Amino acid sequence: MEQQNKIAHQIMDSGMSFQLEMLLLSLKREVEKGYKVCNPGILVGGSLRNSIAHCIKDASLPKTKKKAYDYLVKKGYYDFLKTILGKE
């Protein structure tokens, strides 16, 4: 368990934790492609949206996945993709 915590909380080049980057990428895939990429049993609060809200500590994060994704894009949480992939 300790090793998992070390990996999950590793700070990436974007300044975000590895865990948060993976949650954001999972949300992006679910919203854009329409398929689930995470098992709800391993997520905080049982949902991807709740896990992201827990990581970023933002009480104003919308409740639906699509609205939450749009909100996070506007807030700049997906800007790290531009540096990693060269595109959004």
What is the predicted pLDDT for the residue at 70? 95
Q: What is the dihedral of CA 65, 46, 33, 28, to 10 degrees?
A: 60
Q: Give the pTM.
A: 0.80
What is the predicted pLDDT for the residue at 69? 93
d(CA 19, CA 11): 9
Centroid of chain to Cα 83: 17
CB 61 within 8 A of CB 49: yes
d(CA 77, CA 6): 22
| Domain ranges within the chain, ordered by starting residue | 2-85
pLDDT, one tens digit per residue, over 5-17 is 677 777 887 788 8
